[in-house]
Amino acid sequence: MLSKKIEEALNAQINAEFWSAYLYLSMSANFASMGYTGFANWFEVQFKEEQDHAMIFIKYIQSRGGKVTLSPITEVKSAWETPLAAFNDTLEHERKVTAMINNLYSLATEEKDYATQSMLKWFIDEQVEEEETAQEIIDNLNMIKDNGFGLYTLNKELGARTYTQASPLAAE
Ligand code: MG
């Protein structure tokens, strides 16, 4: 059985993952409306991945006999003038998510909940990747600055990103 404390913290994380999904869908829509179809695609894939993250927590709570509680998703920003502005927000947001995952892990350690610690390890690795990817794209955008051909090329590259289901879900 999950302790009440862990159950509450996991439910809060579900909300944070859906909020992330909402944020990236908003970024995707923003860039689609500007004609940046590649950036829009990248954020759409990101949106789907965040929904997977929420589902992993949902399935996990259920597998431990806990209760899933979905709370309202608060409003997200709806306009970014440049891809750089959106990726800076992305990195800042992912750092916050990393801190949340770390706090969850600390709580699971305090509560001696070894199964939750084990489940969270996938997320700890995932957050390293999320921050690294956002930083890499920011570095590219800083290199490109206002170079049209550079933006065209990166837009094309990010347009090639495809979605694959997160491995903890695919393993079911
Ligand atoms: Mg996530």
Percent with pLDDT over 70 in the chain: 99
Q: How far is the CA of 30 from the centre of ligand 1 (A)?
A: 20
Q: How far is the CA of 139 from the centre of ligand 1 (A)?
A: 22
Over residues 106-115, the pLDDT tens digits come to 999 999 999 9
* Mean pLDDT for all residues in the chain: 97
Over residues 4-61, the pLDDT tens digits come to 999 999 999 999 999 999 999 999 999 999 999 999 999 999 999 999 999 999 999 9
Q: How far is the CA of 8 from the centre of ligand 1 (A)?
A: 18
Q: How far is the CA of 12 from the centre of ligand 1 (A)?
A: 13
Q: How far is the CA of 35 from the centre of ligand 1 (A)?
A: 26
> What's the pTM value of the predicted model, to 2 decimals?
0.95
Tell me the residues surrounding ligand 1 (ion) with CB < 5 Å: 50, 53
Q: How far is the CA of 149 from the centre of ligand 1 (A)?
A: 32
Give the separation between CA 88 and CA 105, rounded to whole angstroms. Answer: 26
Which pair of tokens denotes residue 88?
């800076």
Q: Does pLDDT of 81 surpass 70?
A: yes
Q: How far is the CA of 7 from the centre of ligand 1 (A)?
A: 18
Res 139: pLDDT: 98
Are 87 and 138 within 8 A, CB to CB? Answer: yes
Give the separation between CA 152 and CA 138, rounded to whole angstroms. Answer: 15
Q: How far is the CA of 153 from the centre of ligand 1 (A)?
A: 27
